[in-house]
Amino acid sequence: MNIGFIGFGTMGLPMAGHLIKAGHVLHVWSRRAASVDSLVERGAQCCASPEAVAAACDIVCTNVTASADVEALAAAMAPGFAPGAIHLDFSTIAPSAARRIAAMHASVGVEFVDAPVSGGGLGARNATLAIMWGGKAVLAPRLDAVFAVLGKTVVHVGETGAGQVAKACNQMIMVAAIEACAEAARLAAGAGVDFAKVRTAMLGGSAGSRVLDVFGGRMAARDFAAGVEARLHHKDYALLMDEATRLGAALPVSTAVWQQLNALMGQGMGCADTSSLLRVLESGATQAAR
Amino acid sequence: MNVGFIGLGLMGRPMALHLEKAGHALHLWARRPESLAPFMDKAAAINARTHATPAEVAANADVVIVMVADAPDVEKVCLGVDGLASGAMPGLIVVDMSTINPNAARTIGLRLAEKGIAFVDAPVSGGETGAINAALTIMVGGAPEAFEKVKPLLEKMGKSVTLIGDSGAGQVAKACNQILTGVGVLAVAEAFNFAAKSGVDPAKVREALLGGFAYSKILENHGQRMLDRNFKPGFKAWMHQKDLRIVMEEAHRMGLMLPSAAATAQVFNAIVGSGMGENDSISALMLLEKMSNPSG
């Protein structure tokens, strides 16, 4: 199948690679041409514009940072799409933005699917992503050509925007758990107990979790290199807290976590791993208590 | 002076009338024409002219005051199709008295400056009562020269008029005001709910506390309205929710930790979500009562 791909960050690049490996003809475009060199070497077609990508493909995947980026790409691709083509967006953006883009595409017969992913760079490289998608259920067989190659868990959550709602829920649970790990690590250290031991003990019990394993492990090793850059989680919190305000839903724990992320950003740790939430807690403690 | 006024709601209408009473000619435009009706009443003989667009208002005015709901509305009135910018005479000063995001105010100010229009942000505190009694607290951001020119107008609407700093500084002061009032109202509601659930009369608690370090205007005024169970606005809960959203957006942008304001904003989300958004923000008390053990 002719598949387009735009957005080659930590996630996008390995995802695009898997699609080539699976035998698809990949059409790519990037503002910085150098970022697609490795894909072109492996047979990807380099296009001159997003519009050209759209014109050549049945499905175009995008994987960029913000709502505005996806909206700009959608507008740029619009003149190129053939009716019935699918714009498949893997980015994490506001549910309302996803619905806006879908409406724009629908007016010219183009399908839009929001399919944010969870699993990080590791999940992208190992093709073990959790994919949560929103859009018309009838598109499932066509989308499967892409999803089957990239993810381990693929769930159709509901209509357009539902994928983004699921992703917001995912981020709330995950980052709150990272903060809980950081607080446990802080408490253990303050009491003079080795958090690495505490973590090992807990992994076998009721508090065991992926987050305790992965992020707790980074905290124990004091390895704060990303992983997932904290600034991306911070960005996601703006989206989900905005949605909470719009809906009139109280999220008391999430908002507290959000403030810790704000402090993390303010301390200049946005490009480090989100396990740096531990360092935010330490920044409020005396040297002796660390 | 020819004064344009856009945004003739609960607050804007009495504010505009104070200016007219002081001898200024009003130039009005409204999104909903019915807002203009009270100014056109022949018997009242108000010195006011209505216009078809904001641009027309700008073409006839030395100063235009804007008092609308949120940043997109201000942007549309100022810079949209037939907006103020497209009709302004050289030297026009736009005074935005709406409560909007400080960063949005700065951006709108810069874009108007490109067209030779001065922009002053001048949000207010004091609610509808303050507007009716010309007793508002007005917090101003902008160039000192522009401030001096509009100060006499602001003094007709407010009791306290303060130049805080550059463009956006008035909105920053208003955001600080909303942090203190939001957190303050919730603190009083929590204390009263705590007293009542402990079997103690909140009225007595209030009376005792008014003499101590916990004294505040909020404990005195909002506290009394809670005791009277008078939840009529005042200041509507959904507006407080909006203002706290602005505060939290700015905290996010700057990487600031605001744990109390953040928690308070969630309570306001719940107030609005439970259908009490049109009530006064002291409805925080009702929410706490509803979410606590009702028989406890």
The closest alpha carbon to B285, from B238, B215, B276, belongs to: B276
Residue B174 appears among annotated catalytic residues: yes
The stretch B140-146 carries a mean pLDDT of: 97
B177 in the same domain as B140: no
The stretch B248-255 carries a mean pLDDT of: 96
Instruction: Give me the CATH number covering residue B61.
Output: 3.40.50.720
Q: Radius of gyration of chain A from Cα atoms?
A: 20
B127 in the same domain as B155: yes
Chain A nearest-CA distance from B227, in A, is: 25
3-class SS at B154?
A: helix
Q: Is the pLDDT of residue B279 over 60?
A: yes
DSSP code of A229?
A: B
Asked if A248 lies within 8 A of B270 by C-beta distance, the reply is: yes
B125 in the same domain as B51: yes
Nearest-angstrom CA–CA distance, A166 and A115:
10
pLDDT at B207 (0 to 100):
95
Nearest by CB to A259, from B245, B259, B270: name it: B259
B121 in the same domain as B26: yes
DSSP code of A272?
A: S
Q: How many domains does chain B have?
A: 2
Does any domain span residue B97? yes
Q: CA distances (Å), B39 to each of B13, B14, B20, in order?
A: 9, 11, 10
Chain B nearest-CA distance from A220, in A, is: 25
Q: Is the pLDDT of residue B174 over 80?
A: yes
Does any domain span residue B228? yes
pLDDT digits (tens, 9 = 90+) for B53-104: 999 999 999 999 999 989 999 999 999 999 999 999 999 999 999 999 999 9
Does any domain span residue B9? yes
B52 in the same domain as B154: yes
| Boundary-marking domain end, from B126, B149, B166 | B166
B177 in the same domain as B161: no
Q: Nearest chain A residue to B263 by CA: give it.
A: A252
pLDDT at A161 (0 to 100):
95
**Interchain contact A244–B (C-beta under 8 A):** yes
pLDDT at A194 (0 to 100):
95
Q: Radius of gyration of chain B from Cα atoms?
A: 20
**Interchain contact A253–B (C-beta under 8 A):** no
B176 in the same domain as B162: no
Q: Which residues of A are catalytic?
A: 167
Q: Nearest chain B residue to A245 by CA: give it.
A: B269
Asked if A259 lies within 8 A of B251 by C-beta distance, the reply is: yes
Q: Nearest chain A residue to B257 by CA: give it.
A: A259
Nearest by CB to A258, from B262, B269, B277: name it: B262
B237-254 and B169-197 helices, crossing angle to 10° = 120
Instruction: Give me the CATH number covering residue B282.
Output: 1.10.1040.10
Size of interface A-B (CB pairs under 8 A): 70
Nearest-angstrom CA–CA distance, B85 and B82:
8
B114 in the same domain as B12: yes
Grade residue B294 by pLDDT with cuts at 50, 70 and 90: low
Structural domain of B267: 172-291
3-class SS at B63?
A: strand
3-class SS at B134?
A: coil
Q: Which tokens in the block code for residue A33?
A: 């041409």
| Boundary-marking domain end, from B143, B166, B189 | B166
**Interchain contact A33–B (C-beta under 8 A):** no
Q: Nearest chain A residue to B269 by CA: give it.
A: A248
| Boundary-marking domain end, from B132, B166, B200 | B166
User: Do A124 and A143 contact (CB within 8 A), yes or no?
Assistant: no
B268 in the same domain as B195: yes
Grade residue B295 by pLDDT with cuts at 50, 70 and 90: low
pLDDT at B42 (0 to 100):
85
pLDDT at A120 (0 to 100):
87
Q: Which tokens in the block code for residue A177?
A: 């758990």
**pLDDT above 90: percentage of residues in chain B:** 90
B180 in the same domain as B121: no
| Burial (CB count within 10 angstroms: exposed 0-12, middle 13-18, buried 19+), residue B103 | middle
Grade residue B128 by pLDDT with cuts at 50, 70 and 90: confident
Does any domain span residue B296? no
B143 in the same domain as B10: yes
Residue numbers in A near B279 (CB within 8 A): none
CATH numbers and ranges of domains, chain A: 2-159 (3.40.50.720), 165-289 (1.10.1040.10)
Q: Is the pLDDT of residue B41 over 90?
A: no
Q: Is the pLDDT of residue B296 over 70?
A: no
Q: Which tokens in the block code for residue B192?
A: 């009263």
Does any domain span residue B7? yes
3-class SS at A4?
A: strand
Number of CB atoms found within 10 A of residue B229's CB? 9
Which residue ranges in chain A fall short of pLDDT 50? Answer: 290
User: Do B252 and B262 contact (CB within 8 A), yes or no?
Assistant: no
What interface predicted TM-score (ipTM) does this complex get? 0.76
Interface test with B, best of A259, A265, A281 (most B CBs within 10 A): A259
B23 in the same domain as B54: yes
Chain B nearest-CA distance from A212, in A, is: 25
pLDDT at A226 (0 to 100):
82
Nearest-angstrom CA–CA distance, B261 and B187:
11
Catalytic site residue from B149, B174, B236, B242: B174
Q: CA distances (Å), B43 to each of B10, B20, B47, in order?
A: 22, 15, 12
